[in-house]
Structure 1
Amino acid sequence: MKKIEDIRKTLGYSGIPINGCHYLDEHFRSQLNKRCLVYQGQDLNYEDFMKEVGAWIKTLESQGLKKGDRIIVIMPLRLELYQLMCAIFYLGLVVVSVDSTMPKEKLKQALVDANAQAIISVKELLKWTPFLPALWKMKRFTFDQSCLFSTQLTKIKEDPTLEFKQVPLQSDAPVLISFTSGSTGRPKAANRSLDIFLSQKIVSEYFWLHKDDEVDMPFFPTLVLQNLGLGITTIFPDMDFRKIREFEPERVVKQMNQYGVTRFSATPMIIKKLAKYISENEIKIPSLRSIIIGGAEITTKDASIVLNAFKSASSQVEIHIIYGSTEVEPISFTPIDEYINNDGVGLRLGQVIDVLDVEIKEVDNAFDFNQDVQWGEICLSGPHVIKEYIDNHPANKTTKHRDENGTLWHLTGDVGYLKDNKIYLLGRLKDCLKIDEKLIPTFHLENELAKVDGISRVAFVQVDTKVLCLVEGQESSKDAVGEFIAKWNLGNVEIRFGEVPVDTRHFSRVNRNEIRSFL
């Protein structure tokens, strides 16, 4: 098992990081003329980009913000968002990221629970300040629109400069707090302290090695920050992230060839749409070397389609599936052909990242797959595992556990097993079916049934004793679905055909809560 310090040395880093921008600062000053980021027609080298970061550092300093202050950032994706976030990190402030797609009531709860000293947002939110008491105590900033109850940042912006330094932090000081809505209860906010924030960066870099000439197109907007910390070039995909499902693959494929994109990362929805376009139009992308698929599970059938499409587009391309979460990112990393050529139970997600310890917590009344599979809840411990949700959130009691040696474990809520030092994912514990008093995970069932001709996606959902099998595909496959259910002795299952709803963030993960409303 490797230590995080060994990985840092392998990557050529020395010294103890003192700030969230430690690696960005180490890279950019020696390559000011290198292309940094292309965004909606703006083509900036590192000097241009970082001078604007310097301007925002001076601007935020002038407003009396001090080290440790929490700053809520709710802004549309734009170039200045990344510059502002870098400025916040440099100042030793804490970025509080709130998922803007969460329901309004949960958004209001997050504003309260953030306990922030300032907010940078849009007029559409801040105009409601009189009706949102949580905002009254905060310094309020809009970016480029005037608002009665806020200060407009563009009106007070300082001049561009490279004259700035990192504000030093303790290793356990918060750097990034990420709110997600969750399925029930109050939103929870994962606390990335400095050591965890940078350890996630280091581990990700180590297992997705880059070259000096790398040109990355991340379809996960947060990975722009990772690229800045690597000192590589980012080409922002030509799409509206507010309307992800409507993106036009021909536009981003054109960008890939225009800028010589060498790698990208995307969700299953995006990668499938790109693969379809590339196959139908026999597109070549000769510069492409590496692809990562993540954010949600992908069926092995769809993974095969993706592999064939991109191998045709670029003979040198390597494709990997990544498994991770907000709390532990990444967890494992596997070549797509190993993922596809899996004759075992569940989704084969490869070897667990070397710096992590893994335990499988036994589940009562677990279904026996009759393949030497002892499955249970996946529990993780390591240097890039988030230690807590902020401010004593109840989730700390259910997802964090210290053993008799004082080691902190994160209970992922995912179920799976280890075999030959590889991790296999079976589903979510809370989504397991209960059939004849036995718990049966869903991912294996759904993946196997999706292999049937004419079926593209399947979801099994249970409410009380009622089980629904929602099938997205041709109704002519109903007999095959029935035979599959009988083979697994799932009992009286309602089979229904229709579109399987997905999450509103990545449009790739099955929205089981919505399906439960069908029952």
Structure 2
Amino acid sequence: MNMFKEPDLNKANLCRHLKSAAIQTPSNLAVAVQKSHLSKLTYDEIDFKTLNEKSDAIAHALNGYGIKQGMKAVLMVTPSIDFFALTFALFKAGIVPILVDPGMGVKNLKQCFIESKPDAFIGIPKAHIARKLFSWGKSTVKYVLTVGGNELLSGLAGQMTLNRLVIKYPSNNEYPMVTLADDDMSAILFTSGSTGVPKGVVYSHKMFEAQITALKNDYKIKPGERDLATFPLFSLFGPALGMASIVPDMDASKPISANPKYIFSAIEKYQCSNLFANPALIDLLGQAGEQNNHKLTSLKRVISAGAPATLASIKTFSKMLNNNVEVLNSYGATESLPLTKIGSEALLKTTKVTDNGGGICVGKPVEGVVVDIIKITEDNIQDWGTVVNTDLLLQANQIGEIVVKGPMVSSAYYERECATKSAKIQDDKIVRHRMGDLGYLDNQGLLWMCGRKAHRVETDAEVLFSIPCERIFNTHKAVKRTALVGVSNNSVIKPVLCIELNKGYKISKSVLFDELKEIGAKFDQTQNISNFLIHPDFPVDIRHNAKIFREKLAVWAQNKKN
């Protein structure tokens, strides 16, 4: 009799949840992947029992091929049943998957592979063509697997001939799942690079377990639910939660290009109760729903993360939902997610504070997370005692850098000692993470975001924070979004507001600038902002379509002012 025993969480593996679901609900749907061809939609499906058996078989085959525990493997496979089976197989075998965002660009991808030193490269044919062209992992990769169709094709690095790697399942040969200690490396997840150079975040199974616990306890996700998953990493938590992951036919690295009809169809076919969507997708789906008076009656919750969604887009999207269903906005980063959350009902009540320059409310910490605010400094802080014993720790309603601790907080970057030292603070046996974001805690313990530390503008007279200033000017009807940058004039820093206008809105430049000056004069933080530039189309990250590349705008504004 195959009995599954819950392992000690001090030595665990994410795949224990999949094995448990395979025993308790073997025939339940685990994954469904949508495919479109000539506007016709079809779905590939797999249940928990088969997914578990397939990942066992792949884990055995990987070992047989020579890829063993402790090795690192790049995984560049599009969302598919193969993606799920491969990822779980890597975790089961103790092989460290290296996950990157293809949207970060060729140069950044090459640097990621140089730093992570992969032993194996597993990808679709397109990924291998790029690997060859740009010499990704050339000096370290010894094993190559190409994923295509229903089979894995393999060949030794550098050889043109590909030989079949036969994987048979079910084989009745359960894989002896590798279990790791609390802080052992189980994966390397690279940041997208939208707020700086991509860095490899070291993940442990402890971090994954903490994320799963948060989804269960704070987001109330239960086994048997169905999730419309639009982000590959988050979709892996579906089977781990006993929840089916429904993957729509879309480019996950470019959500703004998704077809709303496909997403609506998948939600309705499987009666999805959960939707994970970033702000760009929330906006896209909301507009499509409003145009067609569409309703999504099966959804019980919507989770948005990655960047702050605009209040207007949340309000529009919410028209599709039942009255008691909220959009849950989550704050966090690759290094630590989720940290805080706030429901749309409470968030929409903060509109006046945000429009008056109070920042964006991102809610209260989830269970197990502690948030503190420290004074803004570029110095490394080695020990939390330094913060406590000096005047670095700030009180309520004081803006500073957000520092977090909790079981889902990463302890290091991979092969980035300087980045680790600048972002991590040792607190006894716990590591705290400096988010690089600025904000404050109010008297009720709510966290308010005020922008990136690197995006503040320091003049001789004051320090200006991006989000509070920009949201004041964003209240003008002609304005789509703004970005505050600093421009040097004879070694004196002056604040300049870059403006992207709503398409089709007609207003003269002189009238607009006069009206913006009038708006800014009403608030202390914006009364000294009087230089404006209109930009035709802000450079933004492709994944969230919300993170503005202010560094590029700053260069553009400097050239304009010269």
- Normalised by the size of structure 2, how large is the TM-score? 0.82
Q: CA deviation at 1:303?
A: 2.6
More displaced stretch, 424-433 vs 240-249: 240-249
Q: Does the aligned pair in 2 maintain the 1:377–1:416 contact within 8 Å?
A: yes
More displaced stretch, 235-244 vs 336-345: 235-244
Q: CA deviation at 1:133?
A: 7.9
Runs of 5+ in structure 1 lacking a partner? Answer: 1-12, 366-370
Give distance in 2, aligned partners of 1:100 and 1:150.
Answer: 24
1:26 counterpart letter in structure 2: S
Give distance in 1, aligned partners of 2:128 and 2:546.
Answer: 31
The alignment partner of 1:112 has SS state of: helix
State the number of aligned residues: 499
CA 1:478 to 1:304, structure 2 compared with 1: closer, same or farther past 3 Å? farther
Aligned to 2:320: 310
Task: Output one character per residue of 1:1-38: Cα deviation in whole Å (capped at 9) or x when no partner.
Answer: xxxxxxxxxxxx77435223122222222211101111
Aligned to 1:499: 537
Q: CA deviation at 1:282?
A: 1.6
Aligned to 1:480: 515
The yes-or-no answer on 1:355 pairing with 2:368 is yes
Q: Does the aligned pair in 2 maintain the 1:33–1:47 contact within 8 Å?
A: yes
Aligned to 1:276: 287
Give distance in 1, aligned partners of 2:82 and 2:17.
Answer: 20
Q: CA deviation at 1:60?
A: 0.5
The yes-or-no answer on 1:180 pairing with 2:191 is yes
1:143 counterpart letter in structure 2: V
Aligned to 1:93: 95
Q: CA deviation at 1:461?
A: 2.4
The alignment partner of 1:324 has SS state of: strand
Give distance in 1, aligned partners of 2:160 and 2:120.
Answer: 11
Instruction: Provide the identity percentage.
Output: 25
CA 1:330 to 1:153, structure 2 compared with 1: closer, same or farther past 3 Å? farther
The alignment partner of 2:63 has SS state of: helix
Q: Does the aligned pair in 2 maintain the 1:37–1:44 contact within 8 Å?
A: yes
CA 1:296 to 1:141, structure 2 compared with 1: closer, same or farther past 3 Å? same
The alignment partner of 1:42 has SS state of: strand
Q: CA deviation at 1:130?
A: 8.7
The yes-or-no answer on 1:511 pairing with 2:534 is no
Q: CA deviation at 1:181?
A: 5.4
The yes-or-no answer on 1:149 pairing with 2:152 is no
Runs of 5+ in structure 2 lacking a partner? Answer: 1-5, 35-42, 379-394, 558-562
Task: Output one character per residue of 1:322-347: Cα deviation in whole Å (capped at 9) or x when no partner.
Answer: 11111111110111121121143111
Aligned to 1:333: 341
1:25 counterpart letter in structure 2: K
Structure 1 residues 36-435: aligned runs within 5 Å: 36-40=30-34, 41-127=43-129, 129=132, 132=135, 134-138=137-141, 139-144=143-148, 149=158, 155-161=164-170, 163-180=174-191, 182=193, 187-241=198-252, 243-307=254-318, 309-311=319-321, 314-342=322-350, 343-344=352-353, 345-363=358-376, 373-403=397-427, 405=428, 407-419=430-442, 420-435=444-459
Q: CA deviation at 1:513?
A: 2.9
Give distance in 2, aligned partners of 1:152 and 1:180.
Answer: 34
Q: Does the aligned pair in 1 maintain the 2:363–2:448 contact within 8 Å?
A: yes
Aligned to 1:5: none
Give distance in 1, aligned partners of 2:359 and 2:67.
Answer: 49
The yes-or-no answer on 1:26 pairing with 2:27 is no
The alignment partner of 2:102 has SS state of: coil
CA 1:150 to 1:335, structure 2 compared with 1: closer, same or farther past 3 Å? farther
Q: Does the aligned pair in 2 maintain the 1:129–1:136 contact within 8 Å?
A: no
2:432 counterpart letter in structure 1: W
CA 1:479 to 1:324, structure 2 compared with 1: closer, same or farther past 3 Å? same
Task: Output one character per residue of 1:317-369: Cα deviation in whole Å (capped at 9) or x when no partner.
Answer: 2221111111111110111121121143111111112312222111379xxxx
Q: Does the aligned pair in 2 maintain the 1:299–1:447 contact within 8 Å?
A: no
Q: Does the aligned pair in 2 maintain the 1:141–1:151 contact within 8 Å?
A: no
More displaced stretch, 175-184 vs 141-150: 141-150
More displaced stretch, 83-92 vs 293-302: 293-302
Give distance in 2, aligned partners of 1:382 and 1:243.
Answer: 31
Give distance in 2, aligned partners of 1:304 and 1:427.
Answer: 22
2:299 counterpart letter in structure 1: L
Q: CA deviation at 1:89?
A: 0.2
Give distance in 1, aligned partners of 2:15 and 2:536.
Answer: 47
Q: Does the aligned pair in 1 maintain the 2:12–2:181 contact within 8 Å?
A: yes
Q: Does the aligned pair in 2 maintain the 1:355–1:383 contact within 8 Å?
A: yes
Q: Does the aligned pair in 2 maintain the 1:126–1:150 contact within 8 Å?
A: no
Give distance in 2, aligned partners of 1:184 and 1:418.
Answer: 23
Task: Output one character per residue of 1:375-426: Cα deviation in whole Å (capped at 9) or x when no partner.
Answer: 10000112211000012432011101125x4542211100001111111111
Q: CA deviation at 1:208?
A: 1.1
Task: Output one character per residue of 1:199-228: Cα deviation in whole Å (capped at 9) or x when no partner.
Answer: 222223321112344111022221111111
Q: CA deviation at 1:242?
A: 5.4
Give distance in 2, aligned partners of 1:356 and 1:185.
Answer: 25
Give distance in 1, aligned partners of 2:317 and 2:451.
Answer: 22
Q: CA deviation at 1:151?
A: 8.4
The alignment partner of 2:483 has SS state of: strand
2:477 counterpart letter in structure 1: D
Give distance in 2, aligned partners of 1:481 and 1:416.
Answer: 25
Q: CA deviation at 1:131?
A: 6.8
CA RMSD of aligned residues (A): 2.7
More displaced stretch, 294-303 vs 136-145: 136-145
Give distance in 2, aligned partners of 1:462 and 1:210.
Answer: 44
